[in-house]
Amino acid sequence: MDDRTPVIVGVGQILGAGGASEPIDLVVAAAERALQDCGAKNLPIDLVALTKIGTQRYRNAPRRVAERLGRPQARTLQANHGGHTTQVMLCHLAAEIAAGRLRAGLLAGGE
């Protein structure tokens, strides 16, 4: 398989508050589970993409997630609300990987 073939390598989900004090805590916890799921805690995440968090305002939620995951160099992408937004962002990440502009990306959302 070509190294630039986009594949989903890990998934993570948090149900309920799980002790989180704000939505970003849930997103970070789910992302950490996804990294554990793929067995690559040091995965070179070049882009952190988030769906819009509607329950709390953040100036740059993807940046906060990237920093908390130890990926401060990652580019960020913040989507607006929309029924198909997650699929559009997934397609964008796949296209960036296929074009060789990303090694790995993180797509997340949470409330």
- Encode pLDDT of 97-106 as tens digits: 999 999 999 9
Angle subtended at Cα 83 by Cα 77 and Cα 89, rounded to the nearest 5 degrees? 30
Query: For the chain, what is the mean pLDDT?
Result: 90
pLDDT of residue 21: 81
- Of residues 93 and 83, more confidence is placed in 93
pLDDT at position 37 over 90: yes
pLDDT at position 40 over 90: no
Dihedral of CA 74/30/103/97: which sign? negative
Q: What is the DSSP string of 42-109?
A: T--EEEEEEPPPSSS--S-HHHHHHHHTT-TT-EEEE--S-TTHHHHHHHHHHHHHHTTS-SEEEEE-
Banded pLDDT at 2 (limits 50, 70, 90): confident
pTM for the model? 0.90
Structure tokens at 104: 């790995």
| CA dist., res. 64 & res. 83, Å (int) | 24
**What is the mean predicted confidence (pLDDT) over 23-38?**
93
